[in-house]
Chain A
Amino acid sequence: METAFFYIFAILTLLCAVLVIANPFTRNPVTSAMFLVLTIISMAGLFVQLHAFFLAAVQVLVYAGAVMVLFIFVIMLLDLKEEERRRINTAMAVLGVGAVGTIALVMIHTIKQSSVGLTLTTPKVEGSTVLLGQSLFKDFALPFEVLSLVLLVAMVGAILFSKKDVK
């Protein structure tokens, strides 16, 4: 049963990711954004398979909720009619598919060749939120606080860039 769910979510994730970057029917960025939402939600399913329930919730809340709303807002703010008319450079696309396909082959071959994880097939730890929170606030307290500073700086930077006249 778990195996079947893994394959369902993995195939959904990869299929939606393909439709984000190369949709055969439309080149509209809004469609790409919507398929990115689907990718992220199916990845949340994979996180549930990994017993990382809190991560699945955060993934849906932060990515599918906050980040994608930001993307949609910006797409609607900009006038992107022109995107539909431009052509993808076919030669460059073929070259890119070849190069990236080679990289993918090398990576998968390396993973299959190495015996990584073969001795670790019986996971015991549960990704419980209590343990995660304890780890976050005890062992990683300093990075956690620094991260809040990063968010503040990002917020100030975003406001600064969005001002009417960027000097």
Chain B
Amino acid sequence: MSPINLQDYLVVSSLLFCLGLLGVIIRRNVLVIYMSLELMLNAANLALAAFSRFNNNLNGQVLVIFIITVAAAEVAVGLALIVALYRRRQTTHVEDLATMKL
């Protein structure tokens, strides 16, 4: 087998991104949509780590650390929003949450 190069990692990363996008499109539960968003962020992380490795430059890995931190903050706020929304509306289905009015 030929050695793994940057393109293989980029293909895996774009496939992972597309799976996350598909999850956002076809699932109707806010929590599962949120997990799909995490998948998309992880795909970006993988691409950055691969670029960092194959370009002999560590800045990509620093950016990955920043993305992981921001993702953790985003998850905390987003899940708090979902819990607050559930208290008001008793649902986590996006089709029931179509209006902006509380």
Contact = CB atoms under 8 A, between A and B. Distances in A.
Interface residues of A, number: 87
A2 B73 contact: no
Interface string B22-56: 11011111011011101100100110011011111
A100 B36 contact: no
User: A21, A63, A71, A101: which has the most chain B beta carbons within 10 Å?
Assistant: A21
Given A71-B31, A97-B22, A121 B3 contact: yes
A21 B19 contact: yes
Most chain-B Cβ atoms within 10 A of its Cβ — which of A2, A54, A100?
Answer: A100
B62 to A, nearest CB: 5
A49 B3 CA distance: 12
B71 A67 contact: yes
A157 to B, nearest CB: 5
Given A10-B12, A88-B28, A107-B14, A132 B68 contact: no
A21 B32 contact: yes
B27 A21 contact: yes
B43 to A, nearest CB: 9
B76 A96 contact: no
Nearest to A134: B58
Contacts of A67: 38, 71-72, 75
Given A17-B19, A20-B35, A166 B8 contact: no
B75 A43 contact: no
Contact of A77 (B16, B54, B61, B83): B83
A149 to B, nearest CB: 10
A20 B80 contact: no
Contact of B31 (A13, A74, A97): A74
B49 A21 contact: no
Contacts of A51: 53
A61 to B, nearest CB: 10
B42 A40 contact: yes
A14 B39 CA distance: 10
8 contacts: A13-B12, A17-B20, A52-B61, A62-B68, A66-B72, A71-B34, A125-B56, A161-B84
The 6 A-B residue pairs with the shortest CB-CB distance in the complex, in nearest-first order: A117-B6, A21-B23, A154-B73, A96-B25, A161-B80, A104-B18
